Amino acid sequence: MFRKKTRPIEAPTRPRRIASQLEPDIELVGDLSFSGLLQVKGNIYGNVIAATGTDATLLIEAGATITGEVRAPYIRIRGKVTGDVFATSRVSISASSTVIGDIHYDEIELDQGAHISGNLISLNEDAVATG
């Protein structure tokens, strides 16, 4: 009769400030490396890669586009990504977003209405072995 409600997958729960932010009027051509928290509201034409060994989070906001490979432990997509996505911990893809490329993930959350053109590839060996 009483069941615990499941909560949607979220980015890390500890409070974090936005370390870097690319505003909507910014267009970046070239690769971008980051650590911490990066919020993208503009356009990036190049790869976006988090420093290895960090718990970096990438937030791709509605209206933002990334054309290139994306790599980070935690990724939330509300905009458009054209390129492969690698989320070593968790990826969340919102209803209004578009991903054109393969998505490599450990945990994934897909909202109804998200547009994906590519393969979903689990990085979780236990899930692959028992599935």
Q: What's the pLDDT tens digit per position in 76-86?
A: 999 999 999 99
| Residues 6+ away with beta carbon under 8 Å from 119 | 102, 103
Residues 113, 34: Cα–Cα separation, whole Å:
29
User: What tokens does 96 get?
Assistant: 């209004």
Q: Is the pLDDT of residue 41 over 70?
A: yes
pLDDT given at position 6: 53
Residue 98 tokens read as 């578009």
Q: Which residues pair with 38 in a beta bridge?
A: 20, 58
Tell me, yes or no, if the pTM score tops 0.85: no
Q: What is the mean pLDDT of the chain?
A: 87
Give pLDDT tens digits for 102-121.
Answer: 999 999 999 999 999 999 99
Residue 13 has pLDDT above 50, yes or no: no
Stretch 92-109: mean pLDDT, rounded? 97
**pLDDT in the model for residue 15:** 45
Compute the half-sphere exposure of residue 9: CA atoms within 13 Å on the CB side of its CA: 16
The SS3 of residue 130 is helix
pLDDT reported for residue 127: 58
Indicate the domain borders of the chain. 20-125
Q: How far is CA 50 from the centre of its chain?
A: 11
54, two tokens: 């960090």
Cβ pair 56, 37 in contact under 8 A:
yes
Spatial CA neighbour of 78 closest among 68, 65, 88, 67: 65
Instruction: Give how far Cα 1 sits from Cα of 4, 7, 8, 126, Å.
Output: 10, 18, 21, 32
